[in-house]
Amino acid sequence: MAVRLHPHAAARLQERGGTEEEVRATVQNGERFEAKFGRTGFRGNFSFDGGWQGKHYANKQVEAYAVQEGADWLVITVIVKYF
């Protein structure tokens, strides 16, 4: 199974502080849930222990919204939350 990023998802990653490796790990190993518009959501938590927009956070949560194309996943967008 391959995980590919739509250009929109790649741009959101840069804006929101996520990495491609985190997205791939989330799709491959994260919690899976149904999302709007026939998409599938994936959620994964990661240790962060770093700063984001002037605040320190211990953890990061990555949500990837994707559509399945054969055996592969195309990630449409990504949301990153810090806590």
pLDDT tens digits for range 43-76: 999 999 999 999 999 999 999 999 999 999 999 9
- The pLDDT of residue 33 is 98
pLDDT tens digits for range 23-43: 999 999 999 999 999 999 999
Confidence of residue 9 (pLDDT cuts 50, 70, 90): very high
Confidence of residue 12 (pLDDT cuts 50, 70, 90): very high
- The pLDDT of residue 24 is 98
State pTM to two decimals.
0.93
Task: Please choose, from the candidates 65, 74, 71, the residue with its C-alpha nearest in 3D space to the C-alpha of residue 32.
Answer: 65
- What is the full DSSP assignment across 4-63? EE-HHHHHHHHHHT--HHHHHHHHHHSEEEE-GGG-EEEEEEEEEEEEETTEEEEEEEEE
